[in-house]
Structure 1
Amino acid sequence: MPLLSIFKKKTAEGGGLNKDRSHIKVGIPKVLNVWSTHRFWIGFLKALGIPAKNIIFSSDTSEDQYREFGKGRIGMDSCYPVKCMAGHIGELLTTKRLDIILVPMIYSLPSFLKGHVMDTLSCTRVPMGVENIKAGFLKEENEFEKIGVRFVNPFVSFGEPHLLPKQLYESLKDALDVTYEEVERAVREGLEELRKFDQKMRKKTREILEWCAQNNRPCILILARPYHMDPGIGHEIDAEFQSLGYPVVWGQYLPTDEDLMDWLFGADVEAGIIKSPFDISDVWTSSYSSNTNEIIWGAKFASRFPWITAVVRLSSYECGMDQPTYTPTQKIVEFSGTLYFKFGDLDETKPSGSVKIRVETIDYYVKKYSPQIIERKLKRLEGRKVPEGFVKTMVYFY
């Protein structure tokens, strides 16, 4: 082992002072699976001594962002969520005074379905897109070196968290002058921050669903990939429903409390149809993709939960991972009598007029059929113990 490495290792083990990194500014493009892992990166970098104010995310996706900062940087034909990464990286490079641009190549994702599915991989275009778009900033001259910014793109496997310290140390040891022990500790901090955030979001979703139950009001579930929360990719379709007074929840943050799982899935577990409430093998055997798995599970949840009376599916143009799931998701939802609507092939152009018309149409059907849907689903759950907070107290009044 080189002498310098031994010195660094002994210093860390001996509890020596960490390097002062309070001046370092790190930019992270707010794209793709960063939407579901951003709290990890904040916790991880803070644990390495980088202040929160120096962890800078790019702005929401927009056509102007791509035209100004990303044009000519793409060397492949892919879905829009991958292409728009060029605009995010260009914006960070051009408008922020940064030391590092951190663009993780996320191979696998953290998932509450881990252990119940085959794997929790991300789409292959996600990690590979980083290298492709990076090349767009190198083809004429090295845009990063010209400005004095270091581009770091660690290959990370959240599905196998024991690999994260090694993966991140190898990528960041020179850029941040860190020891392995520092990275190992920072990974623990990052994962804990991500866990707490996930827990908080699921708790908030449960509160919304409890309100719907107590007031006997319909709720709309959005089934999509995490990056559809970006207004420039999801086109704020969720906000359109909220403006009409509907509570809207996202499939990524559905509650997974034991009492609720037993109410909704207990009968199927007892009948031997599934091994656990998180088993999707009865409807989806090719369970390798993390986001796909969670979309399928979200459809199963929606088909059972009485006050989710409508599911809205969002999908981007040319999303090869989504296409095989359209029919199974629709069948799962509609088999229970729940309303199902799809906004497919969303791209960078917002068809505001057609979106508004479709939302108004969906509003009509939700108002018309929700009372019957709620009562029908409640009847199916008769005999199961109703979780605290989900007892209906008001008559449906739409």
Structure 2
Amino acid sequence: DISKEEVAKAADLGYAEYHDHMQRLRDKGAQIIADARAAGKRIIVLAGRPYHVDPEVNHGIDGLICQHGAAVVTEDSVAWHMEKFPTTVLNQWTYHSRLYAAAKYCTTQPDMDLVQLVSFGCGVDAITTDETRSILQAGGKLYTQLKIDEITNLGAVNIRLRSLFAALDEKDRKGE
């Protein structure tokens, strides 16, 4: 007993809410980036699948990055800055498109780097890993991946993050 018009109206409302949500996310990302730049902090784009936002899944890695003195934003908050560009893989999935765009955007920002979260040994992640690494390296950036399904404690992640920040500091010292 639902008319076609009611379905269309509900869909329009859903899309409008999605648009508003994404705008709020981008606005918050822009605020975090502006605050980080004003404070001279590094900015880490923590890229992961939508379920990686759950603290039970990501183990609080965002907080750990912040403890290292960096600001954290998601790929959703920066990917929109990039126009679609050619990739070496078929780019047909929305998450993958955001990931590649965020990686490309990071290559245009001297104070921004990307850390990719992967989990469950997903076969598709092997492809996204290679493509993301390629995009970042072509832009002179380091690639860091954290396999979060292998984490039993944050000690190993902390070591990886310390290594990343040390490598970034060394790169800065050399003027690269």
User: Which string of whole-angstrom CA distances, capped at 9 and with x for unpartnered residues, describes residues 50-70 of structure 1?
Assistant: xxxxxxxxxxxxxxxxxxxxx
Q: Equivalents in 1 of 2:79, 2:29: separation in Å? A: 6
User: Does 2:156 match 1:354?
Assistant: yes
Q: Equivalents in 2 of 1:196, 1:296: separation in Å? A: 23
Relative to structure 1, the CA distance from residue 187 to residue 317 in structure 2 (aligned partners, 3 Å threshold; closer, same or farther) is same
Deviation at 1:216, TM superposition (A): 3.7
Q: Equivalents in 1 of 2:162, 2:102: separation in Å? A: 24
Q: Equivalents in 2 of 1:194, 1:229: separation in Å? A: 17
Q: Equivalents in 2 of 1:180, 1:371: separation in Å? A: 63
Q: Equivalents in 2 of 1:326, 1:362: separation in Å? A: 17
Relative to structure 1, the CA distance from residue 206 to residue 372 in structure 2 (aligned partners, 3 Å threshold; closer, same or farther) is farther
| Higher RCO (C-alpha 8 Å, min separation 6) | 2
Q: Which amino acid aligns with 1:278?
A: E
User: Which string of whole-angstrom CA distances, capped at 9 and with x for unpartnered residues, describes residues 306-338 of structure 1?
Assistant: 220x32111112212211121221122123332
Out of 71, 92, 96, the position equivalent to 1:292 is 96
Q: Equivalents in 2 of 1:247, 1:206: separation in Å? A: 11
Q: Which amino acid aligns with 1:244?
A: H
Structure 2 residue runs of 5 or longer lacking an equivalent are: none
Match of 2:71 in 1: 247
User: Does 2:27 match 1:203?
Assistant: yes
TM-score (norm: length of structure 1): 0.40
Match of 2:166 in 1: 364
Match of 1:316 in 2: 119
Q: Equivalents in 1 of 2:43, 2:173: separation in Å? A: 12
Relative to structure 1, the CA distance from residue 358 to residue 232 in structure 2 (aligned partners, 3 Å threshold; closer, same or farther) is same
Q: Equivalents in 2 of 1:251, 1:366: separation in Å? A: 20
Alignment of 1:78-89 (within 5 A): none
Q: Equivalents in 2 of 1:370, 1:233: separation in Å? A: 32
Deviation at 1:298, TM superposition (A): 1.1
Deviation at 1:236, TM superposition (A): 1.8
Structure of higher CA gyration radius: 1
User: Which string of whole-angstrom CA distances, capped at 9 and with x for unpartnered residues, describes residues 225-251 of structure 1?
Assistant: 121111222222122101232111111
Out of 209, 213, 220, the position equivalent to 2:44 is 220
Number of residue pairs the alignment of both structures matches: 176
Deviation at 1:202, TM superposition (A): 0.6
More helix by share: 2
* Other structure's SS at 1:182 match: helix
* Other structure's SS at 1:203 match: helix
* Other structure's SS at 1:279 match: coil
Q: Equivalents in 1 of 2:50, 2:168: separation in Å? A: 24
Deviation at 1:285, TM superposition (A): 4.5
Match of 1:280 in 2: 85
Q: Equivalents in 2 of 1:347, 1:182: separation in Å? A: 43
* Other structure's SS at 1:342 match: strand
TM-score (norm: length of structure 2): 0.85
Q: Equivalents in 2 of 1:348, 1:224: separation in Å? A: 15
Displaced runs of 4+ in structure 1, greater than 4 A? Answer: 370-373
